Amino acid sequence: MAEKRRTDQQERPVAPARPPLADEHLRVPALAPAPAFPVEVREPQARQQTPAVGQRVSRPDGRLHGLGQTRYIADLALPGMLHAKIKRAGIASARIVRIDTSAAEAMPGVMAVLTGREIPVNSFGPSLQDQPVLAAERVFHAGDGVAAVAAVTEQIALDALEKIVVEYEPLPAVFDPVEAMRDDAPQVHPPAGNIYATKVIRKGDVDAGFAASDRIFEGQFRTQMVEHVPLEPHAAIVHWDANGRVTVHSTLGRITLGRADLSRTLGIPFNRIRVVATIVGGNFGGKNEITQEPVLALLSKKTGRPVKGVYSRTEEFIATTTRHPIIMDYRTGVTNAGRILARKVRLVLDGGAYCSWSETTLGKACILSAGPYRIDNLHAEAFAVYTHKTMTGAMRGFGAPQVCFAYESHMDDIAAALGIDPLEIRLANAFEEGSPSPTGQALHSVVVKDTLLQAAERFGWKEPRS
């Protein structure tokens, strides 16, 4: 390997000699040095072995990542490409009275400006189509986009946003999901009520289960709103070509759904849209639906040039989906030996301004909320509620990390009160092969007890403590 590298260096053209300059060490080299890596790839053995399943096979993209050769959207450029930026509302609930884009359009270097009224079908969403691509009449949360600019440089696009004047009429807002559930709360999407999805699971007879219990425990648990924070922000390059065909290079994690959303919002058939997902620098659920792609497409249509958009870190926080904060009330009836006889759960999910993946999150949170335990008498109910905050959506775990924090904290409280070891109380209640789930499904390949016992063994749970 070392020998080959030396050969490469010898073959490189040698620059004519010149005396070193005094500030040589401060100067940026005119050309990046040629990479010194072998082009002949010797694959690790695992990649060559059969059978393939079970091998610790390295990833073919790993080499490119390691050499810095992976091309993310930020590294890509097409000839004549423009840069787009989106103006954010900065107000949580308002009616848009007027948008004046004339000063921005007059700026040198600004090639096009777009507002929500110009979008053919200005709504999208995986279950409820309640989200505008750009807010046109009403602002639902402070991160809503209200106008977009395509310019020859990113900086000109940013400067142009400052020249766009938007007049708002502030409207009442609600930020607390419990307040939002009240009948007199301001409605986020009138005439629809703020509770936009519910889920119920009833199994056995909870009242009888509580009556038969030796002890009843209650607890309320809450979780916060968090962001996915992928290293690579949402980014796309869109080109509307002279044949009316739209090519989208994007960080989307779901191109099949993305193409459907683009077809709907742009009002053009599926076969005129090509979505190519580039190598994605982190997703974690945050890149599962379109964001700026229709905006870039329409700016490209207006200008006839490819348009690139890369979200800033701030936009990642304020204008993309986040994890649902959940308020979780638990009530559990147990025997003195620690066997759970009945459980009641109530979940209130702060859905933010749009539904996005809330219905899926609600369903998973509700079904999983009882924990991996055999509970004959269960009543779980869950509500997803609109507030004038950043929208919540898909994020690694879909409600499961929230309810797990609740049911496992609650479990340790019960164990401590009954004087039972946390491991033992779980083993006494855990699912077994064939156990019915809260929805009455007979579970198969159930190894929850194996995970408990093996983790305890590896940790040294039963060893005497110092």
Partner 1 sequence: MKRRGRGLACMWYPIGFTVAANPSAAIVKVNEDGTVTLLTGTVETGQGSLTVLAQIAAEELGVATDDVHVVSADTDTTPMDTGAIASRTTYVTGNAIRLAAANAKAILFEVAAPMLGVKPEQLEARDRKIQVQGYPQRNLGIGEVANHAQVRMGQPPLGSASWNPPTVPLDPETGQGKPFSTYVYATQIAEVEVDDETGEVAVLRIVASHDCGTPINPMLVEGQVEGGISMGVGFALQEEILFDAAGRQVNPNLTNYIMPTTLDMPEIEVNIVQSYDPTGPFGAKGVGEPTSVPTAAAIANAIYDAVGVRVTSLPMTSEKVLAAIREKRAQGAAQLAAPRT
Residue list 79-98, contact with partner 1 (CB under 8 A):
90-93
For residue 70, the minimal CB distance to partner 1 (Å) is 10
Beta-strand relationship, 82-88 and 307-310: parallel
Selected from 265, 283, 300, 356, the binder of partner 1 by CB under 8 A is 283
DSSP 231: S
Residues 306-335 that bind partner 1 (CB under 8 A): 313-314, 316-318, 322-323
Find the part of the chain contacting partner 1 (CB under 8 A) among 95-103, 109-117, 161-169, 456-464: 456-464
- Tokens (6 digits) for 270: 């599926």
Selected from 18, 59, 98, 462, the binder of partner 1 by CB under 8 A is 59
| Cβ nearer to partner 1, comparing 164 with 431 | 431
CA distance 272 to 238: 13
- Tokens (6 digits) for 331: 């009530």
For residue 27, the minimal CB distance to partner 1 (Å) is 32
Q: Terminal CA-to-CA distance of the chain, rounded, Å?
A: 52
Q: Residue 434: left if φ>0, alpha if ψ -120 to 50, beta else—which one?
A: left
Is residue 37 part of the contact set for partner 1 (CB under 8 A)?
no
Q: For 200, phi and psi rounded to 5 degrees?
A: -135, 140
| Cβ nearer to partner 1, comparing 101 with 291 | 291
Alpha-carbon torsion (6, 10, 11, 16), positive or negative = positive
- Tokens (6 digits) for 275: 């979505």
Per the CB < 8 A criterion, the answer to whether 280 and 228 are in contact is: no
| Cβ nearer to partner 1, comparing 13 with 419 | 419
Residues 209-238 that bind partner 1 (CB under 8 A): 219-227, 229
Residues 177-206 that bind partner 1 (CB under 8 A): 199-203
Find the part of the chain contacting partner 1 (CB under 8 A) among 72-80, 110-118, 333-341, 454-462: 454-462
| Cβ nearer to partner 1, comparing 8 with 413 | 413
> Going by C-beta distance under 8 Å and a sequence separation of 6 or more, which residues neighbour residue 238?
246, 247, 248, 249, 250, 293, 296, 297, 299, 300, 306, 307
Find the part of the chain contacting partner 1 (CB under 8 A) among 47-55, 161-169, 186-194, 206-214: 47-55
For residue 88, the minimal CB distance to partner 1 (Å) is 10
Instruction: Give how far Cα 274 sits from Cα of 250, 311, 372, Å.
Output: 11, 21, 43
Length of the chain in terms of residues written: 466
Per the CB < 8 A criterion, the answer to whether 296 and 264 are in contact is: no
Counting Cα atoms < 13 Å in the Cβ hemisphere of 460 gives 4
Selected from 284, 304, 376, 418, the binder of partner 1 by CB under 8 A is 284
- Tokens (6 digits) for 149: 């600019």
Per the CB < 8 A criterion, the answer to whether 187 and 193 are in contact is: yes
For residue 90, the minimal CB distance to partner 1 (Å) is 7
| Cβ nearer to partner 1, comparing 67 with 200 | 200
At residue 188, the 3 state secondary structure works out as coil
| Cβ nearer to partner 1, comparing 210 with 221 | 221
Selected from 98, 445, 462, 464, the binder of partner 1 by CB under 8 A is 445
For residue 207, the minimal CB distance to partner 1 (Å) is 15
| Cβ nearer to partner 1, comparing 193 with 219 | 219
| Cβ nearer to partner 1, comparing 196 with 431 | 431
Per-residue binder mask for partner 1 (CB under 8 A), 122-161, x = binder: -------------------xxx------------------
Is residue 69 part of the contact set for partner 1 (CB under 8 A)?
no
Strands (E), 230-283: 235-240, 246-250, 273-277
| Cβ nearer to partner 1, comparing 152 with 446 | 446
What DSSP string describes 135-158?
-SSEE-STT-EEEEEEESSHHHHH
Selected from 46, 67, 106, 212, the binder of partner 1 by CB under 8 A is 46
Is residue 360 part of the contact set for partner 1 (CB under 8 A)?
yes
Size of the site for partner 1 (CB under 8 A): 120
Residues 374-433 that bind partner 1 (CB under 8 A): 380, 388-390, 394, 396-398, 400-401, 404-405, 407-409, 412-413, 416, 422-423, 426, 430-431
CA distance 343 to 370: 7
At residue 275, the 3 state secondary structure works out as strand
